[in-house]
Structure 1
Amino acid sequence: MAARRPALDVVKQLIPPLSEKLHKGQAGRVGVVGGSEDYTGAPFFSAISAMRLGADLGHIFCDVEAATVIKSYSPDLIVHPYMHKSPKSYQKDQNVPSVSEIVDTISQTFSRLHVLVVGPGLSRDKLMLDTATGIIQKAKEQDMAIVLDADGLFLVQNNPDVVKGYAKAVLTPNVVEFKRLCEAMNLKFNEQNNDNMAEELSKAFGGKRHAYNISSGYNCLLTKSAVFMCDAVGGLKRVGGQGDILSGAIATFLAWGKAYQDKVWEHDSSIAPEDISLYAGWAGCRLVRECAHLAYEKHGRAVLTSDMALEVGEAYRRVFDPGG
């Protein structure tokens, strides 16, 4: 199936208007499940990018030993120290809750969220991964949109059933992660045929619709029926953390899609519910490429992910609101 660019005017319909009639939280409540002792930046970049794009609230559910560090990055984020590493990582006398207890605690907050991002900085600790698996199951029961990135993709690679057949799961693999997912599903990876590979991978995951490679730089698998490409100019420096910004951006557009479905503002409902993930995925990719381009223009080889995160607002204005 040939890839194409979506009509920007259609994508922009998902964006809620700035209005005195909206109250706090209606423009997006995003939760990020991740953050461990060694990886505190990833969930921060995901959640803060979601908020800089326009989400009203950003929550992070992280390991207890990562919480204070993440809180120190920004007072704008709500940080919940509910996740735990395996008991062997702690002092012997420390009480570590069971997976079910942790999952129950976190899932009680789902009524306050629109979208979950699972994976940034999660680590590959068994208890952290088992907990994330339980959280995904609970989110599916409540029909929440879920973005899986980084260690969340490692989780899917080793347990495909966790998202198999779930139409509201959005995967954001880079090329290496995409290859591993194909191998996990017994598909022969062909980097020169991305569109068809994404379609085949979606079928392997049991979806009746198709998954798609959004761009060669940022591959997003979406349970949809078209292939959207994002070939906008990005930056030439590839630094760790760009995918975290992508996950937060897609999550915000998905949260806006939920508000669109709930008709929080008046519109003609021309976007079908099953198409929202596709447009949200492309919009997140387009925004991140613009962020990378703007940051690279300013900093060149010295560019950092933190520089990209600071460009989210300007990137949004240039792509989606040039007259604003």
Structure 2
Amino acid sequence: MPVPDSILDQLKLLIPPLDGTLHKGQSGRVGVLGGALDYTGAPYFAIISALRFGADGAHVICSPTAGGVIKSYSPDLVVHPILREDSTLEQVKPELKSLLSRLHSLVIGPGLGREPYMQSFAKLALTLARAQGMFVVLDADALWMVGQDLVLIKGYRRAVLTPNVVEFKRLCDQIGMNPEIPAGERASLISKELGGVTVLQKGARDIISIDTTGDTADLSTSHLQGASEEREKTKETIEIDVQGGMKRCGGQGDVLSGCVGAVLAWGKCYEEGAYGDGTVPPSRVPLLAAVGGSIVTRTTNKRAFSKQGRGTVTADMIPEISLAFEEMLGSGQN
């Protein structure tokens, strides 16, 4: 089933115009929190994908053991190696809070790992992001983190979860889902149980669901514009059947999270009035970001596979992102 034209039309409204009217930063500053001793590739793939998608600024928040390596991958990245194992949360909090205040979206999880100190910093970042009204993506070990304490994310409708098959099954178990629930309805049920968080279930066909028919939305913070809009009951599922390649790369999920993060950053810039007519409500941005990230990532993989075949690796996908974007969404010169 193709993506409805109404969804694509809304998504295109979030794309920053290429007409010379915007200044540096108004096409979105994206942050990725992740990267420890053994995990440097994942945060790099996520953040470079956000740049290739069209974001303006790229920041990686990581441990000192990973910072130098990640920085060496590209001079386009701003790397903040502030997540020290021997630092307390109170020591890191002021700098992390200041850094997040300069970003438009945050991707938590690529290369995060499960070491207690990294998990603690990720929880802190998510808490700060919620307080600031940031759009966030949760992937990889950030999904494991929230699974241990669902309250961390419950009701925060500015979040997108991007679970793969294993992570999705774990989420189903953690919310106590009845195994007899049809497979096509499970993403929607997870969204409902988590208070309207957008779920992007990765698979042969990506399933994107949002169900805000519950009563657990985070409506107490000032960043949520229009309480009546946020209280509106919505249930929506979109199945993405855009063809990908025949070889799924190990880092393709990181590419996806970076692409979703880029659209979320655009959504924040759009919400703040940097461009656009303001007709797309903030409550639609996570769903639109999930759709945009999915269709472009799948097309990126298809393009890379057509050139490299069985030997396709994630690095082959990066140069194809901007071309896949134009193929699916146009040049953006609106």
Unaligned ranges ≥5, structure 1: 86-95
Q: Which amino acid aligns with 2:43?
A: P
Superposed displacement of residue 220, structure 1: 5.0
- Cα deviation 1:34-93 (Å, max 9, x = unaligned): 0011010000000000001110000000111100000100000000001134xxxxxxxx
Q: Is the CA contact 2:45–2:251 (under 8 Å) kept in the aligned structure 1? A: yes
State how far apart, in whole Å, the 1-side matches of 2:94 and 2:151 are.
21
- What CA distance in whole angstroms lies between the structure 1 residues aligned with 2:316 and 2:171? 30
Could you say which residue in structure 2 is the equivalent of 1:216?
A: 203
Match of 2:77 in 1: 77
CA gap of 1:193–1:55, structure 2 versus 1, over 3 A, is same
Tell me the residue number matched to 1:245: 255
Query: Counterpart of 1:225?
Result: 235
Matched residue, 1:278:
287
**Secondary structure at the counterpart of residue 136 of structure 2:** strand
- Determine the structure 2 residue equivalent to 1:22: 22
Q: Give the Cα separation in 1 of the matches to 2:244 and 2:181.
A: 20
Q: How far 1:221 moved relative to its partner?
A: 5.4
- What is the aligned partner in structure 2 of residue 129 from structure 1? 119
Which amino acid letter does the alignment assign opposite residue 188 of structure 1? N
Structure 1 residue 125 displacement after superposition: 0.1
CA contact (8 A) 2:2 2:241 kept: no
Asked whether 1:5 is paired with 2:20, we answer no
Matched, 1:259 2:257: no
Give, in whole Å, the separation in 2 of the partners of 1:213 and 1:277. 10
Question: CA separation of 1:189/1:25 partners in 2, compared to 1, >3 Å: closer, same or farther?
Answer: farther
SS state at 1:117 partner: strand
Counterpart residue number, 1:202: 191
- Residue 186 in structure 1 maps to residue 196 in structure 2: no
Name the aligned partner's letter for residue 287 of structure 1. Answer: V
Q: Which amino acid aligns with 1:52?
A: R
Contact between 2:158 and 2:197, CA under 8 Å: does it hold in 1? no
- Residue 219 of structure 1 and its aligned partner are, at CA, apart by 5.0
- Residues 9 and 204 of structure 1: CA distance in aligned 2, closer, same or farther (over 3 Å): closer
SS in 1 for 2:188: helix
Q: Within 2, Cα distance between the matches of 1:78 and 1:11?
A: 28
- Say whether the 8 Å CA contact 1:190–1:197 is kept in structure 2: no
Q: Which amino acid aligns with 1:151?
A: D
Distance (whole Å) between structure 1 residues aligned to residue 267 and residue 181 of structure 2: 31
Could you say which residue in structure 2 is the equivalent of 1:111? 101
Deviation of 1:226 (Å):
1.3
Once residues 321 and 249 of structure 1 are traced to their aligned partners in structure 2, the CA distance between those partners, rounded to angstroms, is 16
Quote the Cα distance in structure 2 between the aligned partners of 1:186 and 1:107: 34
Corresponding residue of 1:300: 309
- In the alignment, is the contact (CA less than 8 A) between 2:26 and 2:269 conserved in 1? yes
| Secondary structure class of the residue paired with 1:108 | helix
- After TM superposition, the runs of 4+ consecutive aligned structure 1 residues lying more than 6 A away are none
Q: TM-score, normalised by structure 1?
A: 0.90
Choose 71-80 or 253-262, whichever is displaced more. Answer: 253-262
* 2:214 corresponding residue in structure 1: none
Match of 2:62 in 1: 62
| Deviation, structure 1 residue 191 | 8.4
2:107, 2:138 within 8 Å by CA — same for their partners in 1?
Answer: yes
- 3-state SS of paired residue (1:67): helix
TM-score, normalised via structure 2 length:
0.87
- Alignment partner of 1:153 is 2:153: no
- Cα gap change, 1:302 to 1:4, in 2 (>3 Å): closer
SS in 2 for 1:16: coil
- CA pair 103-240 structure 1, distance change in 2 beyond 3 A: farther
Q: Is the 8 A contact 1:214 1:227 kept in 2?
A: no
Contact 1:214 1:228 in 2 (8 A): no
Identity level (%): 42
Question: Partners in 1 of 2:208 and 2:72 — Cα distance?
Answer: 31
